[in-house]
A and B are shown apart, each in its own frame.
Chain A
Amino acid sequence: MKNVLLICFKEFKSYFVSPIAYAVMALFGLIFGFGFYTATRDMVQLGFRAQMMGQSQPMSVNEQVIRPLLGFAGTIALFLIPMITMRLVAEEKRNGTIELLLTSPLKDIEIILGKWCGAMLLYLCVLGMSVLNIAMLFMWGKPDLKPVLVAYLGLILQGGCLLAIGTFVSTTTKNQIVAGGVTFFVSLLLWLLSWFTAFDTTAFASVINYLSIVTHMENFSKGVIDSKDVVFYLSMIFFSLFLTSRSMESLRWRA
């Protein structure tokens, strides 16, 4: 456990020494802020229009701003997560520092968990940027807190899943660009899988649909914690980290 934390904080710190952390957080803040601006503007305009026409429509900050926004945050994360994970192991392999880690009295799993947790911490910081915007809604409105928290839980699980996949891809190459690119396309594919089943209800289609990372996000963004979705994300994380540990071990045999 001590070793996991040691590596975790080292990774976390090295993100902030390099431009990666700042770039990822700034990009996320910018895009999320833009989404926030348009979503709130539309909501406010809709409110004015309804008032002027004298019709009363059901309005909800949760439904009309927060829910689509946080769904959108998941999509942005899809693009940013490869930037976070690509260097994790690939850089160590290129620098030769992997030799230090593998010849220190550590278990492989401690190295992997440490790296994944470090990436996770940065991801939490990235999500933290969105809290700035959401907090504004709480200052001037009265949205429901619980569904927001649930949506964040969903984002964290989804992110953890993609980060684990990224960590795995990063162990397979020395080249950060390759690691980033492959992670991006794998995440994109897992995202696109949900398209496959738009008008299809066969068993095969529902299996494909189940594998899509975004479909499991839907319940969370509605504010519903379904154990099915939690199990999906946790098992994806576990499976990817398991693959990572296999891949790390094969480094020794192939090196």
Chain B
Amino acid sequence: MIRVEGLTKRYARTVAVDNISFQVEKGQIVGFLGPNGAGKTTTMRVLTCFLPPTAGTANVAGFDVLENPIEVKRRIGYLPETPPLYPEMEVIEYLRFVGQLKGISSGDIGKRVDDVVERCAVGDVRTRLIGKLSKGYRQRVGLAQAIIHNPDVLILDEPTSGLDPKQIIEIRELLKSLAGEHTIILSTHILSEVEQSCEQVIIISQGKLVAIDSVANLTNRLRGSEAVALEVEAAGGSPNPTEVQQRLEQVSGVSRVMMKDSKNGRLTFEVESLQGRHIRADLARMVVTSGWNLSELRAVGLSLEDIFLQLTATEKKAEESKEPAAKQDEGAKK
């Protein structure tokens, strides 16, 4: 449904999106995740034909955003970060206007408006001026505006920002009910959001694609398997790290062993188990029978937050190593 290849968007001085490629299948809900300023909004703006890409192609429902923008726009519903509302209009009047803009014929418009008013629960305020509405209602009118023409693709930029918990749940339910016939991309920096409503996650940081995976895969690491932090010391002097690592890997049910730290003769490891296996007891037994001291053993929660932070942090390190070079360049120019 959506195919993005080598998408790059450069502003005058900064590269907002750097060579991103991904695909979204029909009917999926995809979470677009990244810290502030990662390039989420820019990518969405390219998909909605608001901004042209500097390089690369974006294809929505079989139409290229540069070659066939009108056709793409017909098939997209877009809720920007600040809902595009006219404060001097009434809710119903506004929805009628947007519906007509999106090309709904005047015969169908009444029915469509009633439909989205009900779906987005804005019936209580249908004749109120938009300028007088609370943030939550504005957000919902914004969402109503995005789905009024029953688009194939819905692009939502932080749809739940500014809503109270009850409203967030309602919006989530609404999104789930829309999935299937609609393809939905929603951006957010709230991770639980993604866990709850998305099937697939695209993580970007500083304009670069960091990971694409299904939420199931990412959360499997969190739910099904466990991660254990383990500190080992030897009675006389430091144990041999490679030997400890090998032994740990031989314990049944272990999928991965990472050496974290070695300080004052203490070695710290992080061990991940295969799905559904409990390995703590076996690990402890192995360490003790090998003649080492087990000074610490604790379960480490591996949440989506951790995965996210890990992924985006490695990006940052790579960036930092580049920066001094850039600074030197600037110095030379001066």
Contact = CB atoms under 8 A, between A and B. Distances in A.
Given A103-B50, A103-B76, A255-B51, A96 B84 contact: yes
4 A-B pairs with least C-beta separation: A100-B84, A105-B73, A97-B84, A17-B88
Interface bracket on B: 20 to 34
Contacts of B83: 96
A253 B74 CA distance: 21
Contacts of B87: 95
Contact of A252 (B50, B70, B97, B100): B50
B51 A252 contact: yes
Contacts of A98: 84
B85 A104 contact: no
A238 B83 CA distance: 33
Interface of B: 45, 48-52, 70-71, 73-74, 76, 78, 80, 82-89, 97-98, 100-103, 145
Contact of B52 (A17, A100, A101, A252): A252
A6 B84 contact: no
A17 B129 CA distance: 11
A6 B101 contact: yes
Interface string A1-37: 0110010001000100110000000000000000000
8 contacts: A95-B84, A95-B87, A96-B84, A99-B80, A100-B98, A104-B73, A105-B71, A105-B74
A230 B145 CA distance: 43
A interface SS class? helix
A76 interface: no
A253 to B, nearest CB: 7
Most buried by B among A3, A18, A103: A103
Contact of A104 (B45, B88, B89, B102): B102
Given A95-B85, A97-B85, A255-B51, 7 more contacts: A17-B89, A97-B84, A99-B84, A102-B49, A103-B49, A104-B101, A105-B103
Interface in A70-120: 95-107
A20 to B, nearest CB: 11
B97 A103 contact: no
Contacts of B71: 105
Contact of A103 (B78, B85, B89): B78
Nearest to A101: B101
A100 B49 CA distance: 11
A67 to B, nearest CB: 39
B329 to A, nearest CB: 26
Contacts of A99: 50, 78, 80, 84
A6 B86 contact: no
Nearest to A3: B101
Contact of B88 (A2, A18, A253): A18
A252 to B, nearest CB: 6
A6 B51 CA distance: 24
Given A103-B73, A252-B51, A14 B86 contact: yes
Given A95-B86, A96-B80, A97-B84, A102 B97 contact: no
Contacts of A104: 73, 98, 101-102
Contacts of B70: 105-107
